[in-house]
Amino acid sequence: MRALTFLASRFVAGDTAEDAVDAVAQLNSEGLKATLDFLGEDCESDAQAEAATLEYLSLLDAIHKAGLDCNVSLKLTQFGLNLDPEMAEFNLRRVLERAAATENFVRIDMESSTYTQVTIDLFKKVFADYKNVGIVIQACLNRSEADIAELNALGARVRLCKGAYKEPASVAIQKKDLLNKNYDELAKSLLTNGTYPGIATHDEQRVQSVLSFAKEKNISGDAFEFQMLYGLRPQRWSELVADGWSMRVYVPYGTHWLPYFTRRLRERKENVLFVLKSLVTG
Ligand SMILES: Cc1cc2nc3c(=O)[nH]c(=O)nc-3n(C[C@H](O)[C@H](O)[C@H](O)COP(=O)(O)OP(=O)(O)OC[C@H]3O[C@@H](n4cnc5c(N)ncnc54)[C@H](O)[C@@H]3O)c2cc1C
């Protein structure tokens, strides 16, 4: 795995697309779907945005060639949103075009609240031309109920997550129990009125809430999917699949892993303990 350090390797599939494709082939063989994320965000030049776009174009070809059950996830700041929104749109459209040609799907990850409106606006613009694109909504944001209602009405595919960025009280719920309650409500709204939603969480209580709602409303295992991150709760992935539910694993790869890795450490003390233990035991 070349430059990838042993610390990040629990959460990141490798440095290269080749490493990532191998990891996905293994997941697929266990009945798990995947999404591949070429790590990168807040790019600093047009050249970096171009390089990320080219990586996604060849990644879509590689997924197609290998016949994998795998879509892709990307961040708009990786395509230059922070430099020039028109360039980011141009790059996104190139990827959507290739995804359409290879019968694949592209998920636009959601970044910090500075980008929420511009991400939703750009999503709606491209969704008018491409139906193979989806978005992410964060349960922590006060605005998310209204955003989900609008996206449900459009027929858009939404991934629901809690939100990985530290957000101010002016825009986001700060208390854990209120955030969890909002997550459960938004998940119900997506399961009732949404289009093949992605329920992205490792929180067993959230998973249980969705499972009881789905059973109560006779919502089948292929009407939505659970999503979890590579390296987190692998045993639970298999259990859910064995019980007839769909599970997609989010598989990041690439050398630009530090911001992603830092978010994983911040959200769960056990991830920090894992790192400390690795440092001690080698
Ligand atoms: C597939 C996927 C895609 C995502 N995409 C985005 C995105 O686009 N934008 C964004 O902002 N964020 C994204 N996130 C991150 C997300 O917003 C959260 O930061 C992250 O998932 C942590 O929240 P949680 O719901 O998993 O549970 P947490 O709030 O971290 O955990 C709550 C409880 O769940 C249980 N739990 C958690 N982890 C484990 C574990 N490893 N083993 C056992 N029990 C555990 C514990 O009981 C814990 O107390 C994504 C997450 C996933 C899974």
Task: Judge whether residue 5 has pLDDT over 70.
Answer: no
Distance 203 CA to ligand 1 centre (A): 7
Report which protein residue has its CA nearest ligand 1's atom 46: 203
Task: Judge whether residue 282 has pLDDT over 50.
Answer: no
Pocket test for ligand 1, best of 116, 162, 249, 274 (most atoms within 8 A of CB): 162
Cβ atoms 60, 102 nearer than 8 A: yes
- The closest of 109, 151, 99, 159 to 130, measured between CA atoms, is 99
Cβ atoms 49, 82 nearer than 8 A: no
Task: Judge whether residue 106 has pLDDT over 80.
Answer: yes
The stretch 190-211 carries a mean pLDDT of 98
Residue 115: predicted pLDDT: 97
Task: Judge whether residue 181 has pLDDT over 50.
Answer: yes
161 CB less than 6 Å from ligand 1?
yes
204 CB less than 6 Å from ligand 1?
yes
The chain-wide mean pLDDT, for the chain, equals 93
Tell me phi and psi for residue 138, to 5 degrees. Answer: -100, 125
**pLDDT tens per residue, range 58-85:** 999 999 999 999 999 999 999 999 999 9
The stretch 188-199 carries a mean pLDDT of 98
Atom of ligand 1 nearest to the CA of 198: 1
Distance 200 CA to ligand 1 centre (A): 7
The stretch 215-221 carries a mean pLDDT of 98
- Taking each helix axis from N to C end, the angle separating 85-101 and 46-66, rounded to the nearest 10 degrees, works out to 10
Cβ atoms 38, 58 nearer than 8 A: no
Tell me phi and psi for residue 239, to 5 degrees. Answer: -60, -45
Residue 273: predicted pLDDT: 67
Give the alpha-carbon dihedral of 46, 52, 53, 56, to 10 degrees.
180
The stretch 199-227 carries a mean pLDDT of 98
Report which protein residue has its CA nearest ligand 1's atom 42: 233
Report which protein residue has its CA nearest ligand 1's atom 24: 201
Residue 274: predicted pLDDT: 63
> What percent of the chain stands above pLDDT 90?
84
Cβ atoms 250, 231 nearer than 8 A: no
Question: Residue 28 burial by CB count (10 A; 0-12/13-18/19+): exposed, middle or buried?
Answer: middle
Measured from the Cβ of residue 216, the count of other Cβ atoms closer than 10 Å reads 8
Least confident of 10-19, 24-33, 134-143, 151-160: 10-19
Q: Does the 8-281 domain belong in CATH 3.20.20.220? A: yes
CA distance 216 to 210: 10
Residues involved in catalysis: 109, 159
Residue 84: predicted pLDDT: 96
**pLDDT tens per residue, range 228-270:** 999 999 999 999 999 999 999 999 999 888 888 888 878 776 7
Task: Judge whether residue 279 has pLDDT over 70.
Answer: no
Residue 216: partners with Cβ closer than 8 Å, 6 or more residues away: none
- The closest of 226, 164, 213, 155 to 184, measured between CA atoms, is 213
- The closest of 58, 56, 60 to 40, measured between CA atoms, is 56
- The closest of 35, 36, 27 to 55, measured between CA atoms, is 36
165 CB less than 6 Å from ligand 1?
yes
What is the pTM (predicted TM-score) of this model? 0.94
Cβ atoms 92, 122 nearer than 8 A: yes
Please provide the DSSP assignment of 89-149 as one string: HHHHHHHHHHHHHTT--EEE----GGGHHHHHHHHHHHHTT-SSEEEEEETTBTTHHHHHH
Residue 259: predicted pLDDT: 84
Question: Any idea where the domains of the chain sit in the sequence?
Answer: 8-281
**pLDDT tens per residue, range 129-179:** 999 999 999 999 999 999 999 999 999 999 999 999 999 999 999 999 999
162 CB less than 6 Å from ligand 1?
yes
For the chain, count helices (H), then strands (E): 10, 8
Residue 276: predicted pLDDT: 61
- Residue showing tokens 């920090």: 272
CA distance 187 to 211: 11
Atom of ligand 1 nearest to the CA of 250: 1
Residue 80: predicted pLDDT: 96
